[in-house]
Structure 1
Amino acid sequence: MTPWGAALLPCKQPYKPLLDKEIMMTVERPLRDANLVFFGGSAGIGRAAAVEIGRRGANVLIVGRGREAGEAAVATVRAAGAASAEFLPGDLSTIAGIDAVAAGVRAWKPELHGVLHTAMAAFSGKQTTADGLEFAFALQYFARAALNRLLVDVLAASGDGRIVHIAGNVPTMFMPDLDDLQFDRRKWSFFRSVLGTHLLGFLHIQEATKRWENRPVTLTACCVNSTRTKAMSDPAMPLIMRLMGRFGTTPELSARNAVGLLTEASARGAAGTVLRNPARYAPEPLILEAQEAAKLWDITTSIAGQGGMALP
């Protein structure tokens, strides 16, 4: 995908991301029989990362809407060497769907060692979900934040639960108006909508890191550039997005830092950070407006409650 969307170069040796001084990382945490979930892992960056994690002998759960694509991804992950791989169908654009997926994940394993969020979709105009939410907000921000909160206890149960958001390096000038997240007053545009979801995700990561500081759970945003994925070639995508996708990098390359975040021996230095440069493993602390981050947390809680979901 572009700064907001998007697989790993097939390689026989585990990926070792470059540090800021071009020093290769050589130590990884053991992932054999560890449990990791890939939301949107049926294709693109999510599938690529799932395959790479599967090579380490992990248990992998792929979450997506299309069963055919999901089962194909599962077969590839199993062939890569995963201890197990399963597919969980679900619609992450609705509150009921998110609730059902969270329940399915919890039923899968009692503890999680990591989750990767890559789910996104193409759309050519403002769309509203069954819950009355603007579609990009619902899928690319709300679903991630809600799932993180619904699953935080099973992530903490592993002793080292890691949450990674695939995102874009979006300037703060595109921060949405928190009092108009559904574009009731502002004019909607594809870029205003999508870019805003990544900044909302940054606020969520910052606030969750603060609230969960005593839990063994790490949240990090991992930025990517234009990537050749199915979603990017969808006719519903704006032309410029399709062109960016056509000439973008491979999903495998875009997934490298995400894999690094899920596999490195210690994630302590990645808590509450963003990796802005896809070509370098260099986490930077997120330092956004604290009051805005707290306000968004409360807004998310309220939206969930209106839809019958209780967020911890």
Structure 2
Amino acid sequence: MGMITTPFGFSSTAAEVAAGIDLSGRRALVTGASSGLGAETARVLASRGAEVTLAVRDTAAGERVAKDIGSATGGEALRVARLDLADPASVAAFTAAWHGPLDLLVNNAGVMACPEQYTPQGWELQFATNHLGHFALAAGLHGALAAAEAARIVVVSSTGHQRSPVVLDDLHFGFRAYEPWAAYAQSKTANVLFAVEATRRWAADGITANALMPGAVVTNLQRHIGGSSGRVAADQMKTVEQGAATSVLLAVSPLLDGVGGRYFNDCNEAEVVDRRTGTLHGVARYAVDPENARRLWDVSEALLADAVGAS
């Protein structure tokens, strides 16, 4: 299968890519849906008839967003549930409480360029939140996704992944000096590799996963860098509605039926590159390498098993 192209692009909004698609009877879960891209993704999925669960750390904020979505869309099938991706016990409790099939899992939540922090397990916080938490969530919901028979997992990554591969010999900066952007980049590469290996392992269960770069959008994600968009030119900035478009496209478009293990930006599949592009486009070859993906999966399983064993 060749590269996936669509009629949509940089300026497309989430509502535009979902127009005319009926999600009645479909169940969706969006992490980090209390603000920004997650809230907009949840809003559009609900507007098309999906039953949407907002998985958030701050349930009060989640309830406010759910109320706003219900008022704006007329959707009543909205649920809010607490989920702290950096806490394996929270993820385990969430997945244990889930009942019934799950059609759409949108791994949207994340932290970016935060000060050096570690979980009680000794995991670097960005890797723990952005990758390991979502890895455990998807694994815990595997049965629910398989029960949907044609489930999709959408993984929000970033062009920042081009700053670093996953350093399996030093995931948690035990030997390297901690650098916020290197840690972020590693976690975002892990997001893409997860999509590659999840598709390989789970396609037989009807589950596909794809990763994406949403674009440069100012949201709460930038709180550790002063709320700015960095060095991105003004004409490359997106609104929240535009930023959520690629996530929604991967979740609902019939053009993605049976497609997995790929990386998208601006609503189209990205070119594989061998050097940093200096732009918001392209996916590093190491981020879609099948062997890298297998190794990361095995390491992630081992880390989570150790965490469960120590609890």
1:138, 1:171 → 2: CA distance?
Answer: 16
Give the 3-state SS of the residue equivalent to 1:212 in structure 2: helix
Deviations 1:149-192 (A, max 9, x none): 11122112112111001111246561031111001011111110
Q: Against the structure 1 CA distance between its residues 198 and 121, is the aligned structure 2 distance closer, same or farther, given a 3 Å change threshold?
A: closer
- The reply to whether residue 103 of structure 1 matches residue 96 of structure 2 is yes
- The reply to whether residue 81 of structure 1 matches residue 93 of structure 2 is no
What count of residue pairs does the alignment treat as equivalent? 283
2:257, 2:179 → 1: CA distance?
Answer: 37
More helix by share: 2
Q: Against the structure 1 CA distance between its residues 123 and 204, is the aligned structure 2 distance closer, same or farther, given a 3 Å change threshold?
A: closer
Are 1:58 and 1:83, in contact at CA under 8 Å, matched by a contact in 2?
A: no
Q: Residue 55 of structure 2 aligns with which residue?
A: 63
Q: Residue 307 of structure 1 aligns with which residue?
A: 307
- State the TM-score, normalizing by the size of structure 1: 0.82
C-alpha displacement of 1:283: 6.0
Q: Which moved more, 1:73-82 or 1:185-194?
A: 73-82
Residue type of the partner of 2:243? S
Q: Against the structure 1 CA distance between its residues 261 and 123, is the aligned structure 2 distance closer, same or farther, given a 3 Å change threshold?
A: closer
Give the 3-state SS of the residue equivalent to 2:55 in structure 1: strand
Residue type of the partner of 1:91? D
C-alpha displacement of 1:246: 11
Higher RCO, Cα 8 Å, sep 6+:
1
Residue type of the partner of 1:85? L
Q: Which moved more, 1:238-247 or 1:114-123?
A: 238-247
Are 2:262 and 2:269, in contact at CA under 8 Å, matched by a contact in 1?
A: no
- The reply to whether residue 264 of structure 1 matches residue 256 of structure 2 is no
1:284, 1:242 → 2: CA distance?
Answer: 24
Q: Which moved more, 1:258-267 or 1:46-55?
A: 258-267
Deviations 1:116-168 (A, max 9, x none): 11212356421001221100000001111111111122112112111001111
2:213, 2:24 → 1: CA distance?
Answer: 27
Give the 3-state SS of the residue equivalent to 1:271 in structure 2: coil
- State the TM-score, normalizing by the size of structure 2: 0.82
1:116, 1:78 → 2: CA distance?
Answer: 19
Q: Residue 224 of structure 1 aligns with which residue?
A: 214
C-alpha displacement of 1:260: 1.3
Q: Residue 253 of structure 1 aligns with which residue?
A: 242
Matches for 1:21-100 after TM superposition, within 5 Å: 28=21, 30-79=22-71, 80-100=73-93
Are 1:62 and 1:86, in contact at CA under 8 Å, matched by a contact in 2?
A: yes
Q: Residue 132 of structure 2 aligns with which residue?
A: 142
Residue type of the partner of 1:297? W
Are 2:54 and 2:80, in contact at CA under 8 Å, matched by a contact in 1?
A: yes
Are 1:102 and 1:151, in contact at CA under 8 Å, matched by a contact in 2?
A: yes
1:150, 1:244 → 2: CA distance?
Answer: 38
Q: Against the structure 1 CA distance between its residues 176 and 161, is the aligned structure 2 distance closer, same or farther, given a 3 Å change threshold?
A: same
2:270, 2:263 → 1: CA distance?
Answer: 5
C-alpha displacement of 1:244: 5.8
Are 2:119 and 2:125, in contact at CA under 8 Å, matched by a contact in 1?
A: yes
Are 1:39 and 1:46, in contact at CA under 8 Å, matched by a contact in 2?
A: yes
C-alpha displacement of 1:227: 0.8
Segments of structure 2 that go 5 or more residues without pairing to the other structure are 1-11, 273-282
Are 2:214 and 2:245, in contact at CA under 8 Å, matched by a contact in 1?
A: no
1:124, 1:266 → 2: CA distance?
Answer: 36
Q: CA RMSD for the aligned pairs?
A: 2.6
Identity of aligned residues (%): 23
2:192 maps to which of 195, 199, 202 = 202
Q: Against the structure 1 CA distance between its residues 58 and 83, is the aligned structure 2 distance closer, same or farther, given a 3 Å change threshold?
A: farther
Q: Residue 268 of structure 2 aligns with which residue?
A: 281
1:125 maps to which of 115, 122, 132 = 115
1:155 maps to which of 139, 145, 150 = 145
